[in-house]
């Protein structure tokens, strides 16, 4: 008889029942290892070890850095790797660093700067420029490196200077005004200098000089070059002079006519109140303005315009010392009267100046009053300095007149507005006491800065040249003293400084620097 199977009853396979019922023996157990899981565990271990080592290393570095940074606090010297003007001042005290850098700078700055223009050579005294590098401030900056922030920033800055070095540039200071003046003086002495236009009256003639094209020093450009060379301590070689071509100023006949044309004025004076009216010649062109313009245009260099001169009835010399009762100053120089040509030149120049009256505020121009030194004017050949050599030249010696007048002007405490020294110290005065002139290039000018007119009286006779400044003394006048001193000498040059001292009742009221001069040595 068969057995029926109920509906919906799950049939369980025998194999399954057998598996479930099979006994698993302990020794038959097996472990299955996944290779991916093993690699992951090894990686985690390596990373952990690396992280620990890195932390230890960083801790050591930080500790060393802190020890280094704290050690800086106790260091009183400049840190390592620091330079001033490219001079190593590492680990030096401030004073030792200052001594080292100043000794270095002194060795690098020569006594003179040599300038060249073709065969022409000129020098500038570095002592006259008062060159100064601000080493004190530079040392303060150098010392502050690694000390101006917190411990971390200072430490990093100290490490930076140690490995990469740092240079501190001190500020350069020098007398730029003196440099400009020296360059202008040299410019006026260039062999190919520009000759400026000008005019002067010689008797019954107006002499017009057109001047001539030439070179002038580009003062601004030259000053920059010299400043850079000083800053770079590049002063051992000569420096080429930077020049530019310049044309003389054009002469304007109409302007000159307005300046020249005057009515004659008689000299006069009053005692109460005290006043002076200086004499003036009445002057007019002897030809028409149109003819004068045509004459100037046709001339190449010099043009002579005839004048009609109307002389005053009373001249400055006629009113005498009553109008100018006081001698404000007097100065004398000496010359060799046996030298006929030179003596003639001195007399001609002095006679042009003698009796000149300057009203308050009026400016005296030596070249305009004396005029050009020409054969027609009577000047002779006499020794002069040309490019450092003694040669005969027309009008030689007249700078002694300029010099004598200059000293009288200074002693009268008048305002000198234009003055240049000679190339060499002249024989008739000491260094710093001379004044040179070159017609069309170098002038001597001064201003009557007093409230009363002055009169110039001069004489040249028997080997003695004397200038007097006459006027009216007031309670505001001072006793004037002048002194000069040699400030340095090189193989080629002599440097001097000249001072004016004003005294009132024996007490020094003011001491003023008049000039710094450089001369070539014989």
Q: With contact defined as beta carbons under 8 Å apart, do 326 and 470 qualify?
A: yes
Quick one: average pLDDT of 134-158?
Answer: 75
pLDDT > 80? residue 230? yes
| Contacting residues for 200 by C-beta, under 8 A, at least 6 apart | 206, 207, 367, 368, 369, 370, 371, 372
Rounded distance between C-alpha atoms, residue 81 and residue 77, angstroms: 12
pLDDT tier for residue 163 given thresholds of 50, 70 and 90? confident
Same domain for 76 and 162?
yes
Paired tokens of 404:
């004598």
pLDDT tens string 29-41 = 554 545 555 455 5
Same domain for 514 and 375?
yes
**Residue 340 lies in domain:** 324-522
pLDDT > 80? residue 199? yes
Q: Of 210, 218, 315, 213, nearest to 253 (Cα)?
A: 210
User: Would you state the pLDDT for residue 84?
Assistant: 93
Kindly state whether residue 26 falls inside one of the protein's structural domains.
Answer: no
Same domain for 60 and 153?
yes
Same domain for 211 and 310?
no
pLDDT tens string 41-56 = 555 577 777 777 667 6
- Which three-class secondary structure string do you get for 365-426? EHHHHHCCCCCCCCCCEEEEEECCEEEEEECCCCHHHHHHHHHHHHHCCCEEEECCCCCCCC
pLDDT > 60? residue 16? no
Same domain for 270 and 225?
no
Q: What percent of the chain has pLDDT over 90?
A: 55
pLDDT > 50? residue 14? no
Same domain for 449 and 491?
yes
Helices 289-298 and 253-260: crossing angle in degrees, nearest 10, is 130
Same domain for 165 and 192?
no
Same domain for 472 and 328?
yes
Q: With contact defined as beta carbons under 8 Å apart, do 504 and 519 qualify?
A: no
Kindly state whether residue 305 falls inside one of the protein's structural domains.
Answer: yes
pLDDT tier for residue 20 given thresholds of 50, 70 and 90? very low
Residues listed for the chain: 522
Domain count for the chain, please give it.
4
User: Would you state the pLDDT for residue 9?
Assistant: 38
| Contacting residues for 114 by C-beta, under 8 A, at least 6 apart | 121, 122, 123, 237, 238, 239
Q: Is 228 helix (H, G, I), strand (E, B) or coil?
A: helix
Same domain for 230 and 351?
no
Higher per-residue confidence, 7 vs 237: 237
Same domain for 339 and 486?
yes
Q: With contact defined as beta carbons under 8 Å apart, do 92 and 100 qualify?
A: yes
Q: Is 251 helix (H, G, I), strand (E, B) or coil?
A: coil
User: Would you state the pLDDT for residue 274?
Assistant: 80
Kindly state whether residue 41 falls inside one of the protein's structural domains.
Answer: no
Rounded distance between C-alpha atoms, residue 459 and residue 334, angstroms: 12
pLDDT tens string 245-296 = 999 989 999 999 998 888 898 988 888 788 888 888 888 999 999 999 999 9
Same domain for 488 and 384?
yes
Same domain for 385 and 498?
yes
């Amino acid at each position: 008889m068969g057995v029926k199977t109920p509906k919906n009853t799950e049939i369980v396979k025998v194999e399954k029942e057998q598996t479930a019922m099979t006994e698993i023996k302990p020794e038959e157990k097996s472990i299955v290892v996944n290779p991916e899981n093993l690699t992951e565990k090894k990686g985690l271990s390596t990373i952990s070890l690396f992280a620990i080592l890195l932390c230890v290393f960083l801790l050591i570095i930080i500790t060393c850095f802190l020890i280094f940074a704290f050690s800086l606090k106790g260091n009183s010297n400049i840190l390592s790797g620091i330079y001033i003007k490219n001079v190593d001042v590492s680990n030096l005290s401030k004073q030792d660093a200052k001594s080292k850098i100043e000794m270095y700078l002194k060795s690098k700055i020569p006594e003179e700067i040599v300038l060249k223009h073709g065969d022409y050579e000129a020098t500038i005294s570095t002592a006259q420029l008062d060159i100064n590098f601000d080493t004190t401030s530079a040392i303060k900056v150098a010392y502050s490196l690694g000390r101006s922030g917190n411990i971390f920033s200072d430490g990093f800055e100290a490490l930076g200077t140690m490995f990469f070095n740092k240079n501190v540039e001190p500020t350069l200071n020098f007398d730029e005004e003196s440099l400009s003046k020296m360059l202008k003086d040299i410019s006026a002495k260039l062999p190919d200098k520009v000759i400026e236009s000008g005019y002067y009256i010689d008797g019954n003639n107006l002499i017009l000089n057109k001047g001539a094209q030439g070179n002038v020093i580009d003062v601004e450009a030259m000053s920059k070059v010299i400043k850079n060379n000083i800053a770079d301590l590049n002063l051992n070689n000569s420096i080429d002079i930077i020049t530019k071509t310049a044309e003389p100023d054009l002469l304007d006949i109409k302007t000159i006519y307005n300046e020249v044309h005057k009515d004659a004025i008689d000299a006069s004076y009053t005692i109460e109140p005290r006043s002076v009216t200086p004499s003036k010649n009445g002057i007019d062109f002897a030809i028409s303005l149109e003819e004068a313009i045509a004459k100037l245009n046709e001339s190449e260099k010099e043009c002579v315009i005839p004048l009609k001169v109307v002389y005053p009835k009373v001249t400055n010399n006629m009113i005498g010392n009553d109008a100018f009762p006081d001698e404000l100053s007097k100065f004398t120089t000496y010359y060799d009267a046996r030298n006929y040509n030179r003596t003639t030149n001195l007399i001609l120049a002095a006679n042009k100046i003698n009796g000149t009256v300057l009203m308050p505020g009026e400016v005296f121009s030596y070249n305009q009053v004396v005029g050009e030194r020409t054969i027609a004017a009577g000047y002779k050949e006499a020794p002069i300095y040309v490019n450092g050599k003694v040669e005969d030249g027309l009008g030689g010696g007249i700078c002694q007149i300029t010099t004598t007048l200059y000293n009288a002007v200074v002693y009268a405490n008048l305002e000198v507005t234009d003055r240049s020294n000679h190339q060499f110290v002249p024989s008739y005065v000491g260094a710093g006491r001379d004044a040179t002139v070159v017609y069309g290039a170098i002038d001597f000018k001064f201003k009557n800065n007093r409230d009363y007119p002055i009169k110039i009286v001069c004489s040249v006779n028997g080997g003695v040249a004397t200038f007097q400044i006459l006027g009216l003394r007031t309670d505001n006048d001072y006793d004037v003293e002048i002194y000069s001193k040699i400030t340095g000498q090189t193989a080629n040059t002599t440097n001097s400084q000249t001072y004016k001292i004003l005294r009132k009742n024996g007490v020094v009221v003011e001491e003023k620097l008049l000039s710094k001069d450089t001369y070539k040595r014989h």
